[in-house]
Amino acid sequence: MLRSLLVVLALNAAGALLAADPPAFIHPGMLHSAADLAFMKERVAKGEQPWAGAFELLQREGVSGMAWVPKPVAAVIRGPYNKPDIGSSAMMKDSAAAYSQALQWAITGDQAHAAKAIAILDAWSGVLASIDGPDRQLLAGITAYKFCNAAEILLHTPSGWDAQAATRLRTMLHGIYLPLIWDFKPAANGNWGAAMINSMLCIAVLSDDHPLFQRAVDFYLHGDGNGSIAHYVMPSGQCQESTRDQAHTQLGLGMLAAACETAWKQGVDLYGAEGNRLMAGIEYTAKYNLGFEVPCQGTISALYRGKFRPIYEKVYQHYAVDGHLAMPFTRQVIERNRPEGFSPDHESWGTLTALRVP
């Protein structure tokens, strides 16, 4: 009798949990909140440094110019190390351009930038039919989140984007992108899985899809693959790709950091997972790339050593500035490289978008 009662109570509790509505998603709520966009807009308008200089750096990039013309391809193919490249580079550049144009629209209020971002998104959602090739999952991971961040800004500002066109973009993301990133390619090098986690979170927020959001969170925390936090970063800070080269290591860390930021905007703390494991990975990688020696299981790779990617400002802001945790090597990287510039793989321009104190 007691056991039956306990079962009934458990089922009732489970039913109550299932019936409860999850909290609504915050919009905009990926890399940038409404407060973030307002902060950037105010600092740039006042000409305050280093934000104004960082914004000028953004504006000098080709993807940021009003002359940019999207080049959508129906059947995109990406081979190993982008060979062959059939529409792959065009997709990467256009996703970066859409994000830059949307960001400029939010900061300047210039409707021309909104129109340019809309034109890029509409071009791809109206043409893309497939993404194929051995590196198709990687390409999907490193482009979907930039398309999503552009769309998120446009949808939650008075950009004038047509609702039907926005629905067409979501259809593209769910129909073409999502099947490619669904399983996170666990056996691949971890930058793949990290990029897929990042993009899945963004697709989920854009679509108000709580189960999809939770799927990405669960893989970040507990996934049996190289892209999950515990598999990508060891307690020492050594990364799964540290013995491969420093470019791919920073790619993986940057994608995990972007995923953490989107989750944070939605009230989920992935930054703190595994005892601030992401912080350990960033510090270890910063230290080695600054020229210091680090302990390593195996032989750490010197390939691309000292070539810093724009991934450090966001993480430093969270852990060191807001969290008051020591990140001395990351601080040195920032002081050497501020303002952060552009990389076609990353969202870029972290000094503009993440820095909150000079």
The pLDDT score that the predictor gives to residue 358 is: 66
Mean pLDDT for all residues in the chain: 94
The pLDDT score that the predictor gives to residue 53 is: 98
The pLDDT score that the predictor gives to residue 324 is: 97
Q: Are 180 and 65 in contact (CB under 8 A)?
A: no
The pLDDT score that the predictor gives to residue 187 is: 96
Share of the chain above pLDDT 70, in %: 94
For residue 7, pLDDT over 70 is answered with no
Mean pLDDT calculated for residue range 292-318: 98
Mean pLDDT calculated for residue range 104-108: 98
The per-residue pLDDT for range 186-234, each reduced to its tens digit, is 999 999 999 999 999 999 999 999 999 999 999 999 999 999 999 999 9
Longest dimension (CA), the chain: 75
Mean pLDDT calculated for residue range 233-244: 98
Under the banding of pLDDT at 50, 70 and 90, the label for residue 20 is low
The pLDDT score that the predictor gives to residue 213 is: 98
Mean pLDDT calculated for residue range 38-61: 98
pTM of the model: 0.94
The pLDDT score that the predictor gives to residue 357 is: 81
For residue 6, pLDDT over 70 is answered with no
Q: What is the CB neighbour count within 10 angstroms for residue 155?
A: 16
**Structural domain 26-354, CATH architecture:** Alpha/alpha barrel (1.50)
Mean pLDDT calculated for residue range 24-40: 98
Under the banding of pLDDT at 50, 70 and 90, the label for residue 102 is very high
For residue 12, pLDDT over 60 is answered with no
Q: Which among 331, 223, 344, 242 is positioned nearest to 293, based on CA atoms?
A: 242
Q: Are 227 and 216 in contact (CB under 8 A)?
A: no
Measure Cα distances from 191 to 42, 198, 245 in Å. 35, 10, 12
Regarding predicted confidence, which is higher, 87 or 18? 87
Regarding predicted confidence, which is higher, 295 or 3? 295
Mean pLDDT calculated for residue range 21-36: 95
Helix (H) or strand (E) holding 137: helix 136-155
Mean pLDDT calculated for residue range 24-49: 98
Q: Are 120 and 168 in contact (CB under 8 A)?
A: no
The pLDDT score that the predictor gives to residue 19 is: 40
